[in-house]
Structure 1
């Protein structure tokens, strides 16, 4: 029955109703003094009745936002009490317009239509009542009766128009409120989706960084353990590589954690210039990549493509370190409209071990830039193939500018 309303709005509604009561009630005795003397035999009693009806109607207006259904019921009680007492329409009846506005603006669907029906029905009843109370004993002949009927029709039309306008303004405000709520909900949904995409991206980066670094560290640690007894200097070199790889991974993880705390700072991302360092890490882990780049990049590829190429190679080489036999073939073909990537290595363990989250991450990387990726065993080899679009080929004039 009662809507959740903030304390500020509730206080504002009550104060507005009090001000409406204090302004409209005295007008009865100023502008409408002749009404009282003409139609009420006992002015004191009439004055008290007017005040009571005014209190009821403005009390309903105070509840228009908090409980539209209760407000329309109380307003009807006030209107019936006014007609039963034979009181003329007065300025305090403006409170009914506030109630009709509230039923359309804040009421349920049922209350909305109850308010609309009340606006039409109340206007007709008010027009008829106004005609009766003003015509009274003047209905002496057919002409006066016809005149009263015309006046009644005109007043009913005016009352209906005013009440329906008040209800319609409330309906318009309802549409505005619903539009705002829809915009807020859409903005909230877009924010949640953006945050989810950011979490997925950071989780993917975290997997790429940590998985690759741990694979290098494990390979170096295993090599150092076997070499320690024979060639201590090799073990020392391996430990140095482990320390450098771990520091780099720690730096990357700290950067990713910073992105989690501060969404606006994406920080620097790997580019093609970082591939040599990646290949060096792979060599230090005991895997020799045989690299073929043909043709070479015609210019500076987009940053998103460079990042995708780096991450796909990073994950594919990590799988080669973990599951290969010590050699891996890397082929990059920078065509005018795309870059083709192929990474293949002989499988040293079961082919199923090369799958998992890494393949999913590589495929997502490719799809994010509009490309595609396939990965799986081909005979005794495990091959990763990706094709990433890099836009239309440059015009001849543009090509000459490089």
Structure 2
């Protein structure tokens, strides 16, 4: 029944209604002076009743935004009192247009249709009431002529009043549609912003995983080797420590670059390309795993940057999984076809880690492939774990 309305709007409605009352009531009193009512006597009593009716009308307009239902009820009560007193339509009845506008603009669905019913019902009642007021002036005519005159007057009055009320109610309905469209648009923008934020969080998580997980896998493998070689082969332990330091520095540099992108939001910045694959394979070799790489056929020209980044990240994660969960060397095959590139990475599954995996890495690889417009499958086939990806090249390839 009572809506939450900002104080500024409520004050504006009250002030506007007071001004409407101060303008319309004196004019209505002057226009009806001497014939204010058909049966209220003396005149001062009729003038007082007129003031009450006008105040009630504009009082309903004052609370129309706050409670359209109560305002509609108050307007009906004032209209009934006006007809009960025998008052003719007056200028203060303009407040009814404000109330009808409010019922369709801010009222509930039920109040909306109550307002629509009031347009038709109120227009018919007002038109008939106006026609009946003409009976006194037609008393000298015959019955047939009187009925004809009253019917014509009623029809014209009903048509005019209903048309005017429909305009006010329809304007409120239009306002309602516009407001609903604005709310829908705001909700859509909020949903798009939330989706963009979620996509950004996923991208950050994927990039952090790609950068950190691979480097940590290399560091762990080198640290384990250095621990076993520390006494028997100190030179191998020293090489492992050098590799650990180099890998950690490279990871730190990549993390700093990622954090710079997040802080300044000035684009993606430099990203790994096919030229960086040899460095990736070198890190894997230093960790004790030999990647047996075959490229057939070779790339036809310069592949798109987004495809190069996707190929690098997928290979990086696949080799990281091989370091963490596999044993022995890794087979890496790249096929650069005219319309696509196919990636296939195969490694043996370590018996003691057969149930491991299935974390963020596989999800990240699939997301990389999907963002590039392709697809990726990963899973065990007997004693082997195979990663297979197909990424489109050319017009079908997605932007990085």
TM-score, normalization by structure 1: 0.90
Question: Which residue of structure 2 lines up, in the alignment, with residue 162 of structure 1?
Answer: 164
What is the number of residues matched between the two proteins? Answer: 393
Q: What is the 5 A alignment of 1:233-382?
A: 233-257=235-259, 265-349=267-351, 350-382=353-385
Which SS does the other structure have where 2:300 is aligned?
Answer: coil
SS in 2 for 1:4: coil
Task: Find out whether 1:17 has 2:12 as its counterpart.
Answer: no
Looking at structure 2, the residues matched to 379 and 88 of structure 1 have their Cα atoms a distance apart, in angstroms, of 96
Alignment partner of 2:356: what SS?
helix
Q: Offset at 1:182?
A: 1.3
* Deviation of 1:164 (Å): 1.5
Q: Give the CA deviation at 1:103.
A: 0.6
**Deviations along 1:105-156, whole A, 9 cap, x unmatched?**
1111111111001111111111111222344353332223421321122111
In 2 relative to 1, CA 319–18 (structure 1 residues): closer, same or farther, beyond 3 Å?
same
Contact 2:334 2:343 in 1 (8 A): yes
Structure 1 Cα separation of the partners of residues 57 and 261 of structure 2: 58
**Any conservation in 1 of the 2:39–2:85 contact (CA below 8 Å)?**
no
Q: Deviations over 1:298-317 (max 9, x none)?
A: 12222221221111100111
The alignment partner of 2:333 has SS state of strand
Q: 1:373 to 1:154 in 2, by over 3 A?
A: same
Question: C-alpha distance in 2, partners of 1:106/1:121?
Answer: 21
**Once structures 1 and 2 are overlaid, which stretch shifts more, 121-130 or 371-380?**
371-380
- Give the 3-state SS of the residue equivalent to 1:228 in structure 2: helix
Question: Do 1:345 and 1:381's aligned partners in 2 also have CA atoms closer than 8 Å?
Answer: yes
Secondary structure of the residue that 1:25 maps to in structure 2? helix
Aligned partners of 2:31, 2:266: CA distance in 1, in Å?
Answer: 65
Contact 1:139 1:145 (C-alpha < 8 Å) held by counterparts: no
The aligned residue for residue 46 of structure 1 is 46
- Deviation of 1:34 after TM superposition, in Å, equals 6.1
Which segment is superposed worse, 262-271 or 57-66? Answer: 262-271
CA RMSD of aligned residues (A): 2.3
Conserved? CA contact 2:327–2:349, under 8 Å:
yes
Q: What 5-or-longer segments of structure 2 have no aligned partner?
A: none
CA contact (8 A) 1:35 1:88 kept: no
Name the SS for the 2:346 alignment partner.
strand
Change (3 A) 1:42 1:112: same
User: Deviation string for 1:311-364 (max 9, x for gaps)?
Assistant: 110011101212333422211111000001111223333433254332232222
Aligned to 1:64: 64
> Secondary structure, in 3 states, of the residue corresponding to 1:352?
coil
Paired residue secondary structure (2:104): helix
The change in CA–CA distance for 1:203 and 1:76 in structure 2 (over 3 A counts) is same
* C-alpha distance in 2 between matches for 1:325 and 1:274: 24
Tell me the equivalent position of 2:115.
115
Report the equivalent of 1:27.
27
Paired residues of 2:56 and 2:74 also in contact (CA < 8 A) = yes
CA distance in 1, matches of 2:73, 2:372: 61
**Counterpart contact for 1:336–1:392, Cα < 8 Å:** no
What secondary structure, in the 3-state scheme, does the structure 1 residue paired with 2:347 have?
strand
Match of 2:138 in 1: 138
TM-score (normalizing by structure 2): 0.90
SS of 1:314 mapped into structure 2: helix
Residues 206-250 of structure 1 deviation map (CA, whole Å, 9 limit, x = unaligned): 222221111011011112222222444433332232223223323
TM-superposed deviation, 1:41: 4.4
Q: Is the 8 A contact 2:37 2:86 kept in 1?
A: no
Task: Report if the CA contact (8 A) 2:38-2:86 is conserved.
Answer: no
